[in-house]
């Protein structure tokens, strides 16, 4: 086990408290309360605690040390660490698929469940932010020191081809033949041994997610984290945030129990693009702009799988070792991935004998993913119960790019020697190279597409005015002083690449500005 993980676990033992273990109300006070312990919240907590501020972090999920979580089976991880046990969906509206949106609900948030992929915000995306959102500060040069600092802290390294999985190597052979060699991925890992289960916690602690990188710094500086605390809304007085209230999640099923109240001089919400807008809506924030919960982008992802005659054992090697921008002109980014056999089997067509025959092919399967740099079209609303109701209307331009995604990736697989390709269309049998050319992919209904997402963004976006966005360029709510947001919800547009590094860099920028700003009395 990575010594950094063991050190993080020792610190967490002292500073993490399971609020849900004790019945009754919980009342606390501090300088800064941070709601959420993922990529945004952890960075803010560490930066402000290191500056001497009294920081309390509230996390809805539980704390699972990596040494414990890394030993869980994927389904155990789903039920303990993932929101809705991995069954969070964005409901497709119109000609759109239902999209499975995966999010963490644990200390470390989704950062603990990523493949570790680290892209900086592309320059052309920053130009869009400047041009369309009026965020003139956001130049590559301005953000450079934040990216550098975060990359150093989480140990971003390049995955060399010798660590690529056999599935990735096979796809690389195909893309090279099409004239587009794969590019090595950058990831926040240290000592990766190629267990290919980053999404389900690295068994040797090689992934330096924020629970290993940033939160230990916060704990060392005195920050406290309370797990199983669900925040409902921000309290405020005279136009200024004064804390948060919610419920402690008690008992083995984490049902809402005692009242939670934290009084703070400053509030930072980092509950993610699904839940931050709910907290803001419940607090009456952003009503003027009517932008809270809107503008959600997802990077809808589509797996294209291939069957080879030789065994690939695609689960050996780095999970996400390479990527391709060969279809950037179509606003598509392709990244390596692999899935546990149960998840792979679930995506294979067939019942009974047909299913079994397909499942026997799992060791012979290669998997690669393509995701859309989408136009958006998602909305988060308060739903019945504790979870939001989320809808997503796929933009026709995004839908129109999907046949290109499927055909190009299928051709790459066939160029690599695949015998059949399995496209992300529900109920569609595997296709051969000859059959591919005859498929009418342009007219597949959106509802028949199989899609997933790990990147909900933009539901409380920053913008130059209160009419155009929910937050100013420092992440502060336009209509409530001392309320800040630092998570994926602030990202002004779709990125087209995995967002965790962008979220961490933006959070660091916000935190460093907060550090210099006097705390209110």
Partner 1 sequence: MVPRVPNALVPPSTLAALRAVAEAVFSDEQGPPPAARIDWVLVEFEDFLTLAGSRARLVLRAALFAVTVLAPLFVFSLPPLRHLSVAKRVLALERMEASFASAAVLAVKAFLCVLYYEHPDVQREVGYVGRGHDTRVTP
**What residues numbered 94-133 form the site for partner 1, per CB under 8 A?**
98
> By CB under 8 A, is residue 195 in contact with partner 1?
yes
CB of 163 to partner 1, least distance (A): 15
Residues 8-67 binding partner 1 (CB under 8 A) are none
Using CB under 8 A, which of 24, 346, 400, 517 touches partner 1?
346
Nearer to partner 1, 356 or 397 (CB): 356
* Span near partner 1 by CB under 8 A; candidates 5-13, 82-90, 117-125, 456-464: 82-90
Q: How far is the CB of 80 from partner 1 (least distance, A)?
A: 6
In the list 427, 443, 516, 518, the residue contacting partner 1 (rule: CB under 8 A) is: 427
Q: Is 58:226 a contact under the CB 8 Å cutoff?
A: yes
CB of 493 to partner 1, least distance (A): 28
Please provide the DSSP assignment of 169-228 as one string: HHHHHHHHHTT---EE-EEEBSS----S-GGG--TT--B--TTTTTHHHHHHTT-EEEES
Report helix, strand or coil for 406. helix
Long-range Cβ contact pairs of 51-56 (< 8 A, separation 24 or more): 51/515, 52/221, 53/515, 53/519, 54/30, 54/222, 55/30, 55/31, 55/218, 55/221, 55/222, 55/223, 55/224, 56/28, 56/30, 56/32, 56/223, 56/224, 56/225, 56/226, 56/262, 56/264
CB 351 to partner 1: min, Å = 4
User: Cβ(251)–Cβ(500) under 8 Å?
Assistant: no
Which of 140, 181, 284, 342 contacts partner 1 by CB under 8 A?
A: 342
Smallest gap from residue 466 Cβ to partner 1 (A): 33
* Beta strand extents in 19-170 (DSSP E only): 26-35, 55-59, 89-92, 99-101, 156-158
Shortest CB 105 distance to partner 1, Å: 9
d(CA 468, CA 483): 18
What φ, ψ does residue 297 adopt, rounded to 5°? -110, 155
Site for partner 1 in 299-338 (CB under 8 A): 311, 313, 315-316
Which tokens hold the place of 383?
A: 């739903």
Q: Which residue of 18, 31, 84, 325 would you call a contact of partner 1, by CB under 8 A?
A: 84
Shortest Cβ 200–partner 1 spacing (Å): 7
User: Which of 138, 200, 214, 274 touches partner 1 by CB under 8 A?
Assistant: 200
- Give the range of 19-27, 80-88, 116-124, 181-189 binding partner 1 by CB under 8 A: 80-88
Give whichever of 315 and 484 is closer to partner 1, judged by the CB atom. 315
| Residue 87 interacting with partner 1 (CB under 8 A) | yes
The contact mask relative to partner 1 for 247-266 (x = CB under 8 A, - = no) is: -----xx-------------
Minimum distance between the CB of residue 78 and partner 1, rounded to whole angstroms?
A: 7
Give min distance, CB of 388 to partner 1, in A: 10
Count of alpha carbons within 13 Å of 9, Cβ hemisphere only? 13
Tell whether residue 93 is a contact of partner 1 (CB under 8 A). no
Given candidates 21, 27, 288, 354, which one binds partner 1 under the rule CB under 8 A?
Answer: 354
Segment contacting partner 1 by CB under 8 A, of 267-275, 279-287, 357-365, 465-473: 357-365
Q: Which of 153, 187, 197, 411 binds partner 1 (CB under 8 A)?
A: 197
Write down the residue that tokens 């009754």 correspond to.
24
Q: Which of 191, 363, 396, 417 binds partner 1 (CB under 8 A)?
A: 363
Q: How many helices (H) and strands (E) does the chain have?
A: 14, 21
Taking CB under 8 A as the criterion, the residue among 72, 149, 245, 415 binding partner 1 is: 72
440-459: contacts with partner 1 (CB under 8 A): 447-448, 450
Shortest reach from residue 201's CB to partner 1, in Å: 9
Q: At a CB cut-off of 8 Å and minimum separation 6, what does 452 contact?
A: 99, 100, 101, 102, 300, 301, 303
Q: Spell out, one character per residue from 370 to 399, where the chain touches partner 1: x when CB under 8 A holds, - when not.
A: ---------------xxx------------
Asked if 406 and 321 count as a contact pair (C-beta separation under 8 A), the reply is: no
CB of 276 to partner 1, least distance (A): 18
**Strand partners of residue 186:** 158
Instruction: Report yes or no: 143 and 361 within 8 Å, Cβ to Cβ.
Output: no
C-beta of 127: minimal distance to partner 1 in Å?
39
E strand spans, 295-346: 301-307, 322-324, 332-336
**CA dist., res. 172 & res. 334, Å (int):** 11
Q: Are 160 and 168 in contact (CB under 8 A)?
A: no
Q: Which residues bind partner 1 (CB under 8 A)?
A: 68, 70-76, 78-80, 83-85, 87-89, 98, 195, 197, 200, 202-204, 252-253, 311, 313, 315-316, 340-343, 345-347, 349-356, 359-360, 362-363, 385-387, 426-427, 447-448, 450
């Amino acid at each position: 086990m990575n010594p950094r993980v063991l050190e993080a676990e020792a610190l967490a033992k002292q500073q993490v408290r399971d609020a849900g273990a004790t019945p009754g109300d919980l009342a606390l006070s501090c300088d800064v309360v941070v709601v959420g312990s993922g990529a945004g919240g952890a960075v803010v907590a560490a930066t402000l605690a290191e500056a001497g501020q009294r920081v309390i972090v509230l996390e809805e999920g539980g704390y699972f040390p990596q040494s414990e979580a890394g030993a869980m089976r994927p389904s155990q991880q789903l039920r303990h660490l993932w929101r809705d046990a991995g069954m969070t969906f964005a409901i497709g509206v119109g000609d759109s698929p239902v999209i499975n949106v995966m999010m963490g609900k644990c200390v470390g948030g989704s950062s603990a469940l990523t493949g570790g992929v680290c892209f900086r915000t592309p320059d052309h995306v920053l130009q869009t932010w400047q041009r369309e959102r009026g965020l003139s500060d956001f130049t590559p040069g301005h953000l450079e020191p934040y990216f550098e600092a975060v990359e150093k802290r989480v140990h971003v390294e390049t995955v060399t081809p010798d660590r690529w999985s056999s599935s990735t190597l096979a796809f690389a052979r195909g893309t090279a033949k099409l004239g587009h060699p794969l590019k090595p991925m950058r990831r926040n890992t240290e000592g990766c041994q190629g267990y290919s289960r980053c999404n389900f916690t690295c068994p040797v602690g090689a992934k330096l997610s924020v629970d290993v990188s940033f939160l230990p710094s916060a704990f060392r500086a005195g920050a406290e984290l309370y797990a199983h605390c669900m925040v409902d809304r921000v309290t405020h007085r005279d136009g200024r945030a004064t804390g948060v209230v919610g419920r402690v999640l008690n008992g083995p099923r984490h049902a809402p129990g005692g009242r939670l109240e934290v009084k703070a001089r400053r509030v930072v919400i980092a509950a993610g693009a699904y839940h931050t807008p709910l907290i803001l809506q419940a607090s009456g924030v952003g009503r003027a702009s009517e932008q809270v919960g809107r503008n959600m982008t997802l990077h809808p992802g589509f797996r294209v799988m291939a069957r080879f005659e030789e065994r690939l054992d695609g689960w050996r090697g780095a999970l996400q070792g390479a990527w391709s921008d060969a279809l950037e002109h179509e606003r598509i980014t392709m990244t390596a991935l692999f899935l546990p056999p149960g998840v792979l089997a679930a995506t294979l067509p067939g019942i009974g004998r047909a299913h079994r025959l397909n499942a026997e092919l799992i060791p012979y399967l290669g998997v690669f993913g393509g995701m859309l740099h989408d136009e958006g079209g998602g909305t988060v609303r308060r739903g019945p119960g504790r979870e939001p109701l989320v809808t997503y209307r796929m933009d026709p331009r995004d839908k129109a790019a999907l046949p290109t995604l499927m055909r190009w990736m299928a051709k790459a697989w066939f160029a690599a020697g695949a015998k059949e390709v399995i496209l992300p269309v529900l109920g569609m049998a595997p296709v051969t190279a000859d059959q591919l050319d005859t498929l009418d992919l342009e007219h597949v209904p959106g509802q028949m597409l199989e899609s997933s997402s790990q990147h909900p963004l933009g539901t409380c976006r920053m913008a130059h005015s209160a009419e155009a966005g929910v937050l100013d360029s420092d992440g502060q709510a336009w209509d409530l002083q001392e309320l800040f947001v630092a998570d994926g919800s602030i990202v002004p547009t779709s990125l087209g690449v995995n967002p965790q590094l962008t979220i961490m860099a933006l959070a660091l920028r916000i935190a460093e500005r907060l550090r210099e700003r006097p705390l209110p009395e």
